[in-house]
Amino acid sequence: MKTRRLALSLATVVVSVATLGLLPGQAQAGTADCDATFRPDLYKQVYSFTASGRTVKLMNGGGLNFSYANVDGGQSGDLVWIDRSRNGIPNSMPKYPSTAEVESQGGWKQCGPFKIEWWTTDGRITDLVMNWNTTQQRHYATRVCIRPNGGSVSCGSWYVDRT
């Protein structure tokens, strides 16, 4: 009886810890730092890079000023996210700032990661982040990142849309 109670107690603790995401390898999509889920717009590719055979693209909307990550050739278990600077980037900084320059402006937030499943291996993978706040006249830096299943993290360049 004591053994059964102990086993049930341990199982409850493991399930609770896994639900909180405290076990290694348990990646959950973090949407709290995303700015929107979907906005119809005319999105254009800003850049792309290849990581472990996957093509990762930063996509920017022209009308509503949101960005997202797009992946072609993704594999089930890959993790993809988009980073956005916490503060606006001054016009004196370059269109493609370094990570140190973005950090000096207050750092960034991470929208994701989003786990690629077998049914989402191509196309829009992440939620959206705002790349330009027209009300406050702030241009944010954005970049897309991927951690291929079993691989290491690769991120694209930071980009500030000043158009």
Report residue 47: phi and psi, to 5°: -160, 170
Co-location of 85 and 100 in the same domain: yes
Co-location of 46 and 22 in the same domain: no
pTM of the model: 0.78
| Residue-wise pLDDT tens digits, 49-99 | 999 999 999 999 988 999 999 999 999 999 999 999 999 999 999 999 999
Co-location of 38 and 101 in the same domain: yes
Q: Could you tell me what percent of the chain has a pLDDT over 90?
A: 60
| Residue-wise pLDDT tens digits, 90-115 | 999 999 999 999 999 999 999 999 99
Co-location of 20 and 42 in the same domain: no
Spell out the residues 6+ positions from residue 87 whose beta carbon is closer than 8 angstroms to its own: 105, 106, 138, 140
Co-location of 86 and 15 in the same domain: no
Co-location of 88 and 131 in the same domain: yes
**Mean of the per-residue pLDDT values for the chain?**
82
Co-location of 136 and 81 in the same domain: yes
Spell out the residues 6+ positions from residue 38 whose beta carbon is closer than 8 angstroms to its own: 127, 128
Could you tell me which of 33, 46, 43 has the C-alpha nearest to residue 95?
Answer: 46
Co-location of 22 and 41 in the same domain: no
**What's the domain count of the chain?**
2
What is the CATH classification number for the domain harbouring 67?
2.60.40
Co-location of 67 and 42 in the same domain: yes
β-bridge partners, 68: 59
Supply the range of the domain harboring residue 16: 1-26
Co-location of 118 and 148 in the same domain: yes
Spell out the residues 6+ positions from residue 42 whose beta carbon is closer than 8 angstroms to its own: 61, 62, 63
pLDDT band, residue 156 (cuts 50/70/90): very high
Looking at residue 130, its amino acid is M
- 150 vs 36, 112, 144, CA distance in Å? 29, 18, 18
Co-location of 44 and 22 in the same domain: no
Co-location of 20 and 63 in the same domain: no
